[in-house]
Chain A
Amino acid sequence: MASIRLSYYEGGDSFLVRLDPRVKLLYILWVFAMIMVFSHPLYQSFTMVTLLLAAYLGGLSVWSVIKAGRFGVYVGLASWALWIIFLRGEGVALFKLGGWPVTDLGVMVGLSVALRVTSVLFAFLVVAMTTPTRDIILGLYGLRVSVVFSMVVGIILRLIPQLQAEHATIIEAQKSRATEFEKGGLITRFRKHTSYVIPLALRALKIVSDLSIAMESRAFDPYAKRTFGRELRLHVVDKVILALMAVALLGGIIMRVTGLGGVASGMLVGRGQ
C-alpha cells in the first residue's frame, strides 16, 4: 500500500496557502452562489475559470485536483447524460444517438447541472489542498461556526484519506480471494462489492472509536474553551479578494435579474434568447 496522507493538504508556500482561511472558506460559498446564479454554461464558465486560477495560485496541478475529485466528475458526467435523456423531447434536436434525439436544451441544462455539481466539490478540494486542517477549523471558528461543527469538519478531513487507505487494503485482500470486481452482471457486481463495504464499515467504526479515545485522552472537550494554534488577521490581499468576490457576485445577480445567463431552447442553433 502506498503511504497514506493525513489530509488533503499538499503543503508548500503558495499564494493561496498564505491567504486567510476565512477568505478561502468564503470562496467555496462564493463559488456555490455564482454557479447557482447563472444557468448558462458560458456564464458559469467564469466561475470555473476562477477555479483554475485558484489551483494555479495554490501551486496545484490541475490533474491532481481532478484525480482527487474524480468521483465528482463521474457524477457530473452521469447527470449530464441523464438530463440529455430526460429532455430528449424538449428543445431543438441537434443530432440522433442510437435513434434518440439529443436536444440543445438537454445538452445545455445537463452541462449546467454538471458544472453546479462539480464546481463546489472542486472549490472545496482546492481549499482543502491548500489549507492545513487546523486552519480550516480555525477559519470556521472565525466565521462564527460552532466549535463542535468546526471540529467535526476537521475530523472528517482527517479520516477520509485514512479510510481511502483502508479501502485499498480491503480491496487487495478480497482480490487475493479471486474477486474480480469489474466482472459480472449488475447483481453479481453488487454482491461482490459487499465484500469490501462491510469490512470497510467495520474498520471505519474501529478507527473512529480509536481516534475518539485518543482525543478524549488528550482532554478534548468540544464545549470547553480552547486555544487555537495561531490568531487570524485579514491582510490587505485578503480584503481585496473579498471585495472582488463581493463585486463579482453582485454583478452576477444584476446580470441575472436583467435576463442574462439563463438557458432557453434554440440557443445553440441561433434561435431563442
Chain B
Amino acid sequence: METIVEIQGLTYAYRGHEDQPVLHSIQLEIIRGEFLVLAGRTGSGKSTLCYALNGLVPHSYGGRMEGLVRVCGLDTREVLIPTLARKVGMVLQSAESQLVGLTVQEDVEFGLENIGLPLEEIRERAQWALDVVRLSDLASRSPWTLSGGQKQRTAIAAALAFRPELLVLDNPTAELDPVGKQEVLETLARLNRELGITIVLVDQDLHEAIPFASRLALLDEGRIVLIGTPGEVLDQAEAVRAIGVKLPDVTEVAYQLRKVGGWPGRLPIAVEEAQAQIRKGFQSVQTAGAPRPDGDGNQGVLGDPLVQTEELSFGYPGGQDVLRGITLTVRRGEFVALMGPNGAGKTTLAKHFNGLLKPTQGRILVNGTDTRERTVAQLATHVGYVFQNPDHQIFSQTVAEELGFGPKNLRWPPARIQEAVDQMLTDLELSGQGKAEPFFMGLAERKLIAIGSVLIMGPQLLVLDEPATGADYGVALRIMRYISNLHRRGLTVVIITHDVSLAANYADRLLVMRDGHVVLDGSPRELFRNLAELRRAYVTPPQVTELVLGLDGLGLSPDIIRVDELVQALKGA
C-alpha cells in the first residue's frame, strides 16, 4: 500500500500568533485510495490541517511550522502552491466564495489557464471534469444561478481538472440542503471508487459522511485524538462526545443503551447495522416507553393567531414569483420549523413576517395589522428576525452597545435601555461581559448576542434563519437550548432550518416549502413517518425515524422521532 500523505510531527502557528500553535505534533499517514473523514469542534485545527496538505500552510499563511508534510512525494515546504495544485485539489466550505468564472466552464478552466496548459488541453480536461461531476449540460450557465450542490460540484470539477491524486474538501456540505449534500457526497464516493482519487473530507455531520469513509480522524485542540475505521472510532462514543462531536443517531441510541447494560456488542454506525442488532437483541417492545404526545407539553393550548398570511405571493421586480399564494397562520406559543430545499422560498416568506418584504399579492397580518401599514422599525417590537450570520449584524465596540442598539433606535430612555441590557446579559449568561468586544468572541457568543440584540426589543415572535448552521454540535446545542427556554417562557418561535434532528427535537409544527408553496404542514411526528411525501419535498427524516420505520413487527411506535424516545422504548423491552 502506497502512502500518499505523510505528516510527521507537524506543529503550526499562524503569523502573529507564533506562540499559540493550532496544530500540535500531528502524525498522520494517508494511503493512496483512502477516503478519510476529519471531524472536530470549531477551532480544532481541521481547516489548518487541510491547508497544510496543499501548501497554503506555510507558503500563503506564513507563521511557524515544524515537522514534515510530504504529499505525493513532495515536501510541501520545498515546493510552491502552483506545483502542489497539480497534485492536490482543494474545495472550500463556501461554494460561492470559490467562484471565479462567469460560466461553469470558465470556472473550471481558470486553474488550467493558471498553469499555462495549451488551449486544446484546457478544453479537453475541463470537459472531462464536467462529465465526471455530471455538469456538462450546465457548462455555459452562470455558476451563481446553480443550486448549492451544483455550485460545490463546479468547485470539485475545477479541482478535478488538474487531475489531482488527492482531493481535500474543507466542510463542503456545511451550507447545503440535504439534496445538495447527497449530490456532493455521492460525487466524492464515485471519484474515490471509480478513479481511485484519495479523499480527505472535513465534515461535521458524521452520519452522512461515514457511509463513504474508510477511516475517521477526530481532532481536538490541534491534535488527532482518535483515528481508525468509523466503527472503531465511534465505538469509543464517550470520547467522541467529550470532544464535542455529535454521534449519528443510531450510534447514540446504542451508546445510551450500553450505558445501562442494554447493548452488548459494538456500537452501530449505520441504520441497517443498528436494525439488525436491535432485531437480534430485542424481541418485542410492545407499548413500553411509548413516545410522549405531540408537542411534549410545550405546545399546550395554542393562543390567538399572531401571523396570518392570505394568498400571499411575492416576486422580485422583473423575476418570477418566489412565493405563490401562501395561506397560513402562526399562533402564539408555537415552535415552527420551516424546511425545504434551497430556493423554496423559506427566507423570503420569513422576511414578510417582520415587513422586510411586502407581498406583491395577497396580504400578511401581524397581530391583526396589515404589514403594509407598518414600517420594519414599528414591527420590530412584534417580530424579531435573527439573520443566519451574526457578522451581518454585529458592529459595536462592546456587547452592551450592541444589545442596546435596537432600543436606542426605538428611542427608549437611557435608564430603560440600561436595565434591559443588564437583564439581557444575565439571560444570555454573559453577565460581566458587557464591555467585552463582540468581534473577538466565539461563534456561540456572537450568535447569542445577535439573538439577544433582537430579543431585547420584546418581540412576541422570534424568527431565526438557520440558527445552527456553521456551528459545531456544542455551539448548536447551547443556542437551541437557549431558544427552547425562551419558547417555554411563552415566546413564539419560527426557525428556518435544513437540520431535521433540530426540527424533531424542538419544533411542534413543521412547514415544508417547495417552489414557493407550503407543501406539507403538520406535526413533526405526523410528517416524518410519511417518507414518500417527505422525499417529494426533498426532506429526509431523522436517522432515528428511519431506524424505527425499518423495525416493523417489533412493536415500536412509528411516531418516534427523537433518540431519547427510542432509548426509552428499548429500555422497556
Q: Are B356 and A178 in contact (CB under 8 A)?
A: no
Contact A214 B98 (CB under 8 A): yes
**A227 with B100: in contact, given A175-B377, A216-B56 (CB under 8 Å)?**
no
Contact in complex: A3, B102 (CB < 8 Å): no
**Which B residues are in CB contact (< 8 Å) with A180?**
375, 377, 409
**Which of A9, A198, A227 is close to B113, meaning CB atoms less than 8 Å apart?**
A227
A134-B102, A213-B92 given; A172·B351 CB < 8 A: yes
B454 contact set on A, CB distance < 8 A: 176-177
In the complex, which residue of chain B has the Cβ closest to the Cβ of A1?
Answer: B347
User: Which one of B13-21, B104-112, B496-504 is at the interface?
Assistant: B104-112
Confirm or deny: A6 has a beta carbon within 8 angstroms of a beta carbon on chain B: yes
Encode contact with A along B86-120: 1 for CB under 8 Å, 0 otherwise: 10011010101111111000100111111111110
Among B51, B109, B145, B406, point to the contact of A3 (Cβ < 8 A): B145
- When chains A and B are docked, how far (Å) is the Cα of A3 from the Cα of B347? 13
Q: Which residues from B are CB-within-8-Å of A3?
A: 144-145, 319
- For residue A221, which residues in chain B have a CB less than 8 angstroms away from its CB? 80-82, 114
Query: In the complex where A176-B384, A213-B56 touch, is A195 in contact with B144 (Cβ < 8 A)?
Result: no
CB-based contact B393/A177 at 8 Å: yes
List the B side residues contacting A195 at CB < 8 Å: 395, 405
Contact A217 B392 (CB under 8 A): no
Out of B85, B354, B439, which one reaches A218, CB within 8 Å? B85
Interchain CB contact (< 8 A) of B143 among A6, A169, A211: A6
Task: Name A221's closest neighbour in chain B (CB-CB).
Answer: B82
Q: Does residue A93 face the partner (Cβ distance < 8 Å to B)?
A: no
Q: Is A207's CB within 8 Å of the partner chain B? A: yes
- Give chain A residues whose Cβ lies under 8 Å from the Cβ of B309: none
A89→B99 CA distance, assembly (Å): 55
CA distance A196 to B395 in the complex (A): 7
| CB pair B112 A227 closer than 8 Å | yes
Instruction: Tell whether, in the assembled complex, residue A5 and residue B144 are in contact, meaning their CB atoms are under 8 Å apart.
Output: yes
In the complex, A45 has a CB within 8 A of chain B: no
Instruction: Give A224 to B59 CA distance when docked, in angstroms.
Output: 16
Question: B144, A217: Cβ atoms under 8 Å?
Answer: no
Closest chain B residue to A230, Cβ basis: B119
Q: Is B122 among interface residues, defined by CB-CB distance under 8 A? A: yes
Q: Smallest Cβ distance from A163 to chain B, in angstroms?
A: 12
Q: Are A229 and B114 in contact (CB under 8 A)?
A: no
Q: How far is the CB of B144 from chain A (nearest CB, A)?
A: 5
In the docked arrangement, what's the CA distance between A219 and B101, Å?
15
Question: Is A133 part of the contact surface with B, judged by Cβ < 8 Å?
Answer: yes
In the complex, what's the smallest C-beta–C-beta distance from B286 to chain A, in angstroms? 50
Are B102 and A176 closer than 8 Å at their CB atoms? no
Report the Cα distance A179→B393, complex, angstroms. 12
Name the distance in Å between B318's Cβ and chain A's nearest Cβ. 9
In the assembled complex, A228 has its CB within 8 A of some CB on chain B? yes
Which residue of A5, A172, A206, A215 is within 8 Å of B387 (Cβ)? Answer: A172
B391 within 8 A of A: yes
| Partner of A220 from B106, B114, B381 at Cβ < 8 Å | B114
- Do the beta carbons of A199 and B85 come within 8 Å of each other? no
| Chain B contacts for A197, CB-based, 8 A | 395
Interface residues of A in 45-92 (CB under 8 A from B): none
Most chain B CB atoms below 10 A, which of A7, A175, A217, A220: A217
- In whole angstroms, how far apart are the Cα atoms of A207 and B389 in the complex? 14
Contact of A226 among B116, B354, B376, B395 (CB under 8 A): B116
**Among candidates A178, A198, A212, residue contacting B409 with C-beta atoms closer than 8 Å:** A178
Chain B residues near A199: list those with CB within 8 A.
391-395
Residue A174, interface by CB 8 Å: yes
Q: A177 vs B162: C-alpha distance in the bound complex, in angstroms?
A: 47
**Within the complex, what minimum Cβ distance (angstroms) separates B518 from chain A?**
21
Is A173 an interface residue, CB under 8 A from the partner? yes
Is the beta-carbon distance between B387 and A218 smaller than 8 angstroms? no
Say if the beta carbon of B30 comes within 8 Å of chain A. Answer: no
> How many residues of chain B are within 8 Å of chain A by beta carbon?
69
Number of A-B contacts defined by CB within 8 Å:
167
Cβ–Cβ < 8 Å partners of A186 in chain B: none
Closest to A215 in B: B100
A122 to B277 alpha-carbon distance, docked (Å): 70
User: Which residue of A is nearest B393, CB measured?
Assistant: A173
Asked if B60 CB lies within 8 Å of chain A CBs, one says: yes
Distance of A206 Cα from B392 Cα, bound (Å): 12
Query: Counting chain B CB atoms within 10 Å of each CB, which of A6, A220, A228, A231 scores highest?
Result: A6
B298-331, CB < 8 A from A: 316, 319
Complex Cα distance, B356 from A174, in Å, reads: 11
Assembled-state Cα–Cα distance A21/B233 (Å): 57
Which of B100, B122, B380, B409 is in CB contact (< 8 Å) with A214?
Answer: B100
Per the bound structure, the CA–CA distance linking A195 and B401 in Å amounts to 11
Q: Taking the nearest CB of chain A, how far is it from the CB of B170, in angstroms?
A: 9
Contact B56–A175 (Cβ < 8 Å): no
Closest to B111 in A: A218
Does A269 belong to the interface (CB within 8 Å)?
A: no
Give chain B residues whose Cβ lies under 8 Å from the Cβ of A216: 56, 60, 81
Residue interface bits B357-388, CB-to-A below 8 A is 1, else 0: 00000000000000000011100110011110
Interface centre among B54, B115, B143 (most CB of A within 10 A): B115
> For residue A206, which residues in chain B have a CB less than 8 angstroms away from its CB?
391
Would B100 and A158 count as touching, CB distance under 8 A?
yes
Interface centre among A132, A172, A224 (most CB of B within 10 A): A172
Q: For the complex, is B217 an interface residue (Cβ under 8 Å from A)? A: no
For residue B115, which residues in chain A have a CB less than 8 angstroms away from its CB? 219, 224, 226
CA of A207 to CA of B96, assembled, Å: 9
| Chain A neighbourhood of B406, CB < 8 A | 177-178
Given known pairs A3-B144, A172-B387, A225-B116, the reply for A178 and B380 (CB within 8 Å) is: yes
Query: Residue A170 at the B interface, CB < 8 A?
Result: yes
Residue of A nearest to B94 (CB): A210
B100 and A169 within 8 A (CB): no
Residue of A nearest to B85 (CB): A219
- Which residues of B143-160 are within 8 A (CB) of A? 143-145, 155, 158-159
Chain B neighbourhood of A170, CB < 8 A: 392-393
A2 sits at the interface (CB 8 A)? yes
Q: For the complex, what is the distance from the CA of A196 to the CA of B54, rounded to whole Å?
A: 36
**8 A Cβ contacts from B168-227 to A:** none
A-B residue pairs in contact (CB < 8 Å), sample of 30: A3-B144, A6-B102, A132-B102, A134-B102, A158-B100, A176-B386, A177-B405, A177-B409, A178-B406, A180-B377, A203-B392, A207-B97, A210-B97, A214-B92, A214-B97, A214-B98, A217-B89, A218-B162, A219-B111, A219-B115, A220-B110, A221-B80, A221-B114, A224-B115, A226-B113, A227-B113, A227-B117, A227-B118, A227-B122, A228-B113
Contact surface of B with A, Cβ cutoff 8 Å: 51, 54, 56, 60, 80-82, 85-86, 89-90, 92, 94, 96-102, 106, 109-119, 122, 142-145, 155, 158-159, 162, 316, 319, 347, 351, 354, 356, 375-377, 380-381, 384-387, 391-395, 405-406, 409-410, 439, 453-454, 457
